[in-house]
Chains A and B, each alone.
Chain A
């Protein structure tokens, strides 16, 4: 799996958009970008994933650059409950659901009131 680079920490004002960057310059053509978050000591929670097109769901948006070497997770209106560690993971995916996830150190996002 390709390695990712994320800033160790970020702050964002409550109500503003939080933009979390991730570099994955060695990503292969068949590798997806996944985002998870972990709220203090809870189990990680899936947020969103994408291959090359931008994606949006009820939680967030994922913007992937055209060369796929970096991506940005956007939380459009951050709330205090979004304070968490956010993990960007790049991996080959299949529809079989039997491949492990490799977590890096992530970005600790703090939402400021």
Chain B
């Protein structure tokens, strides 16, 4: 157990629907990062939050949005889903003072759009 909790582990939904992925960072970590990994593809950075504020944005579609709540958990909202959105979605967290030692990733949410 890495300490980063992602729910749900698996999600199957239909095209056009909306889903919410949840991430609870390690205790004490202020930063949350979201990544998307399509089948046999690399990890694509989507967005980062730091202590409730958006800090960096990557290749995130306009149909996707995220937020980080006061208790530091984060949610990634995916709407108007398309078949191509099927992927593993990973959340990672890091703490101030731990930047040298990398980030801790969760076990991911596997999204299947049918």
Contacts A49-B100, A103-B42; is A97 near B31 (CB within 8 Å)? yes
Residues of A close to B74: CB separation below 8 A: none
CB atoms of B107 and A44 under 8 A apart: no
Whether, in the assembled complex, A113 has its beta carbon less than 8 Å from a beta carbon of chain B, the answer is no
Name B106's closest neighbour in chain A (CB-CB): A43
CB atoms of B99 and A42 under 8 A apart: no
Residues of A close to B110: CB separation below 8 A: 41
Residues of B close to A104: CB separation below 8 A: 42
- How long is the Cα–Cα vector from A105 to B40 in the complex, in angstroms? 10
CB atoms of B105 and A97 under 8 A apart: no
Residues of A close to B102: CB separation below 8 A: 34, 36, 46, 49, 101
CB atoms of A42 and B107 under 8 A apart: yes
- How long is the Cα–Cα vector from A34 to B43 in the complex, in angstroms? 15
CB atoms of B105 and A43 under 8 A apart: yes
Contacts A44-B90, A103-B42, A103-B43; is A97 near B97 (CB within 8 Å)? yes
Interface residues on A, range: 20 to 34
How many residues from B make CB contacts under 8 Å with A?
35
Chain A 82-106 interface residues, beta-carbon cutoff 8 Å to B: 93-106
* Stretch in B12-20, B48-56, B61-69 touching the partner: B48-56
Whether, in the assembled complex, B88 has its beta carbon less than 8 Å from a beta carbon of chain A, the answer is yes
Question: B66-110 vs A: 1/0 string, CB under 8 Å?
Answer: 000000000000000000000010101011111111111111101
**B56 contact from A49, A97, A100, Cβ within 8 A:** A100
Whether, in the assembled complex, A45 has its beta carbon less than 8 Å from a beta carbon of chain B, the answer is yes
Known A95-B98, A97-B99, A103-B35; further 16 A-B contacts with Cβ < 8 A: A43-B2, A44-B43, A93-B99, A97-B31, A97-B94, A97-B98, A97-B103, A98-B50, A98-B94, A100-B33, A100-B58, A101-B92, A103-B42, A103-B43, A103-B44, A105-B42
A→B interface (CB under 8 Å): 32, 34, 36, 38, 41-46, 49, 93-106
